[in-house]
A = this chain, B = another copy of it.
């Protein structure tokens, strides 16, 4: 067994530490966040940090690296106009999605440079990804600065959910296998996913005796 203490982690080579700590939480969701500046420049960026915050109201969070450390077009756009989209990444366009992480100049849209298609619905301000089959329109509601490292938890309220009706199971769960959604580990590795099983709602009285 390998045992890293806090000191060992601090002494790791920077990139190796980043990869290790980026894989230590487990499998991560794969999403593209779409946004647009006031001038109309669209932006698209991959995020593996989307997290469920609550169902009523429907709240979703994601983690942004420190503003100032790298250009944060997504953040600037969200602050400018208050809306963004979250689009699931499917197996057939993982390469396109991965390269949205490159540091393009602000006037270059990742939609164009990465071969993905903008889609606007009704009067919603931010661009969706046409290739994505499961997508959300989200309204910025708050942010929390994590002072220990300068990252930000961005909190949004879901305004729209768009997906094929056949992905929705009887109980409300979404069949992400059917959508060929992928999972991410670390910063660069993509996985396909296959359901094993589901269990009933856990109560002391239906807990199996192990």
Contact = CB atoms under 8 A, between A and B. Distances in A.
Interface in A8-65: 9-10, 12-31, 48-61, 63
Interface residues of A, number: 118
A62 to B, nearest CB: 9
Contacts of A169: 19
A5 B148 contact: no
A144 to B, nearest CB: 5
A17 B172 contact: yes
A146 interface: yes
A207 B52 contact: no
Decide if the interface of chain A is mainly helix, strand, loop or mixed.
mixed
A23 B173 contact: yes
B99 A207 contact: yes
A162 B1 contact: yes
A204 B71 CA distance: 14
A199 B98 contact: yes
A67 interface: no
Which of A164, A173, A190 counts the most chain B CB atoms within 10 A? A173
Given A25-B60, A173-B188, A173-B189, 19 more contacts: A5-B160, A9-B161, A10-B57, A20-B161, A21-B54, A24-B161, A26-B176, A53-B63, A61-B153, A94-B199, A95-B199, A102-B202, A115-B209, A141-B148, A153-B153, A173-B186, A187-B201, A190-B195, A193-B193
